[in-house]
Amino acid sequence: MTLQNVLVERDGLIAVVTVNRPQKLNALDDQTIAELTQCFGELSADDRVGAIVLTGAGEKAFIAGADIGVLSKQGVLDGRENARRGQALTLRIEESPKPVLAAINGFALGGGLEMALACDVRFCSPNARLGLPEVSLGIIPGYGGTQRLPRLIGSGLALQMILTGDPVSADEALRIGLVNGVLPQPELLTGVKAIAAKMIARGPQAVALAKQAARRGLQMSMRDGLELEADLFGIISSTAEMKEGMAAFLEKRKPSWLRG
């Protein structure tokens, strides 16, 4: 597939995925969702990629939501299929073995916030506005917002955002734990890349398994989650990566991680 609405740039082991529809505030349409799904599939399987950063073109919007013109014409069957396509993309982001970081450089509304919620960590600029305004249009969030937002910030705050449709400011998003930090607009992408670089500097298999333990554990009881953690701890303990990490610590040197 030739990419029309998405840009992919490499900065060493960091891949930056940019939704490039600034004239539409980077709104999601079928083509953009298909391109993002392809990009995350390819990058997640690429041994030359250590982390993925998702952002939007311009300074106004990260992703302003779905294309309202398309949504206004949907019925029961195509509405469900639209939701399933968006959900498949958010699952591909969430289940990537690579750390995925959102650099929210403006509006993150509806499907845009749902894309950010699927990322592992989120940082935003001071002008960001984050919300799920779907009920204002007579619909509900369909790309995972009703499931991920309560898990992230708690049901009370999540339901307030979902049922009023009101967005929150960058400072409020930080206060309630919706984002990890607020960075000046000119420094946002650089700052997020710096966080990504720290993750890449750690053991790649350890990072992937730690992410898996945390992500899957959220869906389990505490006992089942602990069992999963023990299983993954056993797996990482059998790797050359573990041996190199321990040896480097004891020898007071930086580890040399093998990738691929």
Active site residues: 114, 134
Q: Which residues pair with 9 in a beta bridge?
A: 16
Pairwise CA distance, residues 174 & 194, whole Å: 19
- Whether the Cβ atoms of residue 67 and residue 135 lie closer than 8 Å to each other: no
Q: How many CA atoms lie within 13 A of 95 on its CB side?
A: 10
113, two tokens? 């916030």
Q: What is the H or E stretch that residue 109 is in?
A: strand 107-109
Pairwise CA distance, residues 256 & 259, whole Å: 10
Pairing relation of β-strands 14-19 and 51-56?
Answer: parallel
Q: Which residues pair with 182 in a beta bridge?
A: 124
- Whether the Cβ atoms of residue 104 and residue 116 lie closer than 8 Å to each other: yes
Pairwise CA distance, residues 210 & 194, whole Å: 20
250, two tokens? 């004891």
Pairwise CA distance, residues 4 & 25, whole Å: 15
